[in-house]
Amino acid sequence: MLSRIRSRWIEGVLNNSLYLATLITLGLREQPDAVENPWRLTVQESHLPSRLLPVGTRLTEVYDTYGGALLILGEPGAGKTTLLLDLAKDLLERASFDETHLIPTVFNLSSWTEKRLSLTEWFVEELQSKYQVPRSLGNEWVANHQILPLLDGLDEVEETQQTACIEIINNYRQEHGMIPIIVCSRKEDYFAQPTRILLNTAIEVQPLTSEQIDAYLFKAGKGLAAVRAALQDDPVLQEMASTPLMLSTLAFTYHGMSITEILSQASVTERRHTILKNYVERVLQRRGPTTTYTPQQTTHYLTWLGQQLLRHGQTEFFVERLQPNWLPETSMHRFHRTVVRMLFGGEILIFAAILGLFRSDATPTQPGLFSWGDIGLGSNILGWMTPGLGGGFRGFSSLEIIVALVMLVTVLIAGKGHIPTFSFSSLLQRLGAGLRLGLTLGVAVSIIAGFLFFPLTGNIGNAVYRAIGTGLYSGFFMTFISTLIFLLHPLPASATPKEPLQSLLKRPYLPKNLSLRLLNFLLFSACGAIGSGCIYLWQYGTLNQFVISYASIVGLFYGLVFGLANGTNLIPGLGEEIRPAEIILWSWSTVGQHLADNLRKSALLGSYVMISMALMLASLTSIYQGIGYGLPFGIVYGAIVGFVTMMAGMLTATLTSGWSSTSLAERHFLRPNEGVRRSFRNGLIAGGLFGLIGGLASGLMSGFAFALAGITGWMTLGIGLAFVFGVIFFVQFLTFHGGIAFAKHYLLRYYLWRAGHLPWNYIKFLDHAVERILLRRVGGGYIFLTGRFLSILLTSLHRNIK
């Protein structure tokens, strides 16, 4: 812990202080009346006047004298934080040689406002989030009085909450009065509060004296001779140079300039803007001219970044913490729609290609998913199940529909993240809406498919026959999926059982506009057609009428379901907060605690899918093939889909209960954007692990079901389906456990780049700003020099841009 604090605050901040190289010993004044004295009324202590401490007195000496309970006050840029960190350095040194010494820990009070916890609870939260200390260990340290709090930034707490924050500190002091504690605040902000802090004394950092300033400039030599001369005649510059920060900035800005140039502006405001304007210009040229970023680009990008940090109450910037709310509202809507299209379009492309691997019935020698095991058999590998569903769907075409159902079921469950509690009575309540939606889609698909099949078959009767079959199965497909959607996504409290679909679709950003739905329809239809069409083209070896027609039908289905019917609502909240999976943990104990409940819910979900699928497939197939064929056909495929659904539910529930993927504490980022890279890597781990498990288990069960049904090619079918289901599980777990955050992050950066808010290679620009001393890099993040410097700099940069 000591090394973490030393690395973060001493090496990362104090040693890189803007004016550390020529650090001036700051004057200190004791202000006893600035703190609450509980003995004043009891013993009628006389008024204790403030007093200057002897020149050269270090804060560590004052700390030892007053039992380590101090308030540090000062003007902006006076060096309060530097003094606090200098004290922390001494205390860390003591702790490294004394195991019983308390752990000096720097906390920034600006984050207290978020939850307004008690100080002890907040310490535990901060130890976990900022220093990656496990909550149990943090609780132990705080309870055993092992933490020495160094609280910076009382003035950075929201103005309306500063008094409450002081009271929280006082409550802590009354309960833990023997524990040293240091609090840092701007003088003006502190004295504006009606309550005083219960500490032993207060120390006010004094402005630099003219002697200190003159000595500093004298040591600097001829480069600052004009500044030194100008200060002697100009009280404005003397005032500006009275803090270490502004003196260092002034010296850096005016180094080598003449007195005439320095005195060209009369007002303090104009001179301050001149200082910072020249500072920016000088630091941009400090290491020679560069063609990578112009001064105008640099000031524009930094202005936007600073405005966003102030707007969102942040002091440090981490690239992986970019969120969609950094976009204007209209752009956020477009971003959301793009995320939805990107995710569903990509998955449709992949899944349509996988479905295309199922060879058609026409040519047994065509390459396909099962041709490696039984070359020449074609769909006859299915044995007595070769006639398929009927209605124009023979052999592997029937198996395609079954696998497509499994794909959507895994999307639903993996996207949900857990299995909700439902009953068969709730199923009956929602079945009516599913039937209405399925009927609508089935009629639409039948009409369009008829026009596509007629030129393919050349026979109107056959075209109608196949069109009716396509519409019938599409309607059944939609009924099943929509009912499952209603089960997995609880209805709003205001919804009625008669209107589940309408209530479910009332979500932000959904494309209610017909033109947007048509655009989604065209996009998803194209993705489905391209995915399957490429595989068909490979199988047939030429772009013929069969390839075009079959690819169009596949694309049509995806376009209708996910475009016009708003099927993108399967996974709500896609374009909202980006939550990268930066760190993964596994807990067997948590898995064990939820195992029975997860098994029960998975079995219930799998049973519903198995029974409903068996009944629907048996009923529909019996219409075309007779009940003697349809009943066993429905049972076999119902068992396969039901088991794979149960497996998907179990894996998802297990992953949710035992596998936790969260954001890493920013303290542990060593490289910029490390969190996003970690997220993608952890997504690959989740996809690879659960894709392998899900694929093997599902393939084994599928092969076993075909074997029980007397299918001689059961092993080839099982291995082929293991590959298909493995890919499905891999894609889903990769997507929802790190992959989607990775894609959303770079899409967001594209939107911000297109809006002109940041350059394409943002890390390169931020490092450029660090080299020019406009930003400071701390670990994997970036900070401006100080909060006040940021505020003034933004004003100056804004004026420059205008």
Residues 695 and 616 in one domain: yes
Q: Has residue 335 been placed in a domain?
A: no
Rg (Cα) of the chain, in Å, rounded? 35
438: in domain? no
Lowest mean pLDDT among 20-29, 35-44, 385-394, 726-735: 35-44
The per-residue pLDDT for 527 is 92
Name the strand (E) or helix (H) holding 151: strand 147-152
Q: Is the dihedral of CA 495, 500, 502, 505 positive or negative?
A: positive
- Print the domain residue range for 590: 370-420+577-744
| Residue 538 maps to a domain | no
Do 26 and 159 fall within a single domain? Answer: yes
Question: Whole-angstrom Cα distance, residue 641 to residue 702?
Answer: 9
Domain termination site, one of 159, 183, 206: 206
Inside any domain, residue 112: yes
pLDDT at 198 over 80: yes
- As a residue count, the chain comes to 802
**If we measure between CA atoms, which residue out of 235, 217, 215, 236 comes closest to residue 226?**
217
Per the domain annotation, does 96 fall within a domain?
yes
Please tell me whether residues 256 and 130 are part of one structural domain. Answer: no
Question: For residue 229, what pLDDT band results from cuts at 50, 70 and 90?
Answer: confident
Q: Are 198 and 225 within one domain?
A: no
Whether 266 maps to a domain, the answer reads yes
Q: SS3 for 644?
A: helix
Predicted confidence (pLDDT) at residue 793 exceeds the cutoff of 90: no
- CA–CA separation, 262 and 260 (whole Å): 5
pLDDT at 709 over 50: yes
**pLDDT grade for 624, boundaries at 50, 70 and 90:** confident
Q: Say if residue 677 is exposed, middle or buried (CB neighbours under 10 Å; 0-12, 13-18, 19+).
A: middle
The pLDDT of residue 505 is: 42
Give the DSSP H/E element, type plus range, for residue 662: strand 659-662
> Which pLDDT tens digit goes with each residue over 199-222?
999 999 998 888 888 888 888 777
Judged against a pLDDT cut of 80, whether residue 196 lies above it is answered with: yes
Question: Distance between CA atoms of 523 and 531, rounded to whole angstroms?
Answer: 12
* Position 1 confidence tier, pLDDT thresholds 50, 70, 90: confident
Q: What is the pLDDT of residues 8-27, one digit of tens each?
A: 788 777 776 544 444 577 88
Same domain for 708 and 788, yes or no, is no
pLDDT at 324: 85
The better pLDDT of the pair 293, 455 is held by 293
Above 80 in pLDDT, residue 773?
no
Core vs surface per residue 518-554: b (16+ CB within 10 A) or e: eebbebbbbbbbbbbbbbbbebbeeeeeebbbbbbbb
Same domain, 290 and 392: no
What is the tens place of the pLDDT at every residue in 281-291?
Answer: 656 665 444 55
Span 163-177, average pLDDT = 91
Over the chain, what is the mean pLDDT? 76
Domain assignment present for residue 135? The answer is: yes
Q: What is the CATH number of the domain that holds 105?
A: 3.40.50
pLDDT at 508: 41
Q: Under a CB-based contact definition with an 8 Å cutoff, are residues 464 and 450 in contact?
A: yes
Same domain, 108 and 26: yes
Q: Looking at the structure, do residues 581 and 720 belong to the same domain, yes or no?
A: yes
| 402 and 376 belong to one structural domain | yes
| Residue 255 vs residue 103, higher pLDDT | 103
**388 and 288 housed in the same domain:** no
Question: In this predicted model, what pLDDT tens digit does every residue of 429-485 receive, in sequence order?
Answer: 666 666 777 777 678 777 777 777 666 666 777 777 777 777 777 777 777 777 766
d(CA 229, CA 261): 13
Q: Give the model's pLDDT for residue 248.
A: 74
Spatial separation of the C-alpha atoms in residues 216 and 242, rounded to whole Å: 12
Pair (168, 297) in one structural domain? no
Q: How many helices (H) and strands (E) does the chain have?
A: 29, 12
> Which pLDDT belongs to residue 160?
81
Query: What's the predicted TM-score (pTM) here?
Result: 0.60
User: How much of the chain is helix, strand and coil, in % rounded to 5?
Assistant: 65, 5, 25
Considering its fold, how many domains does the chain have in total?
A: 3
* pLDDT over 70 (residue 571): no
The reply to whether 198 and 243 lie within a common domain is: no
Domain end call among 156, 191, 206: 206
Band (71; pLDDT cuts 50, 70, 90): very high
Residue where a domain terminates, one of 176, 206, 236? 206
Q: What percent of the chain has pLDDT over 90?
A: 10
Pairwise pLDDT comparison (356 vs 353), residue with the higher score: 353
**Does residue 51 lie within any of the structural domains?**
yes
As beta bridge partners, residue 661 has 584
Helices (H), 495-544: 500-504, 514-540
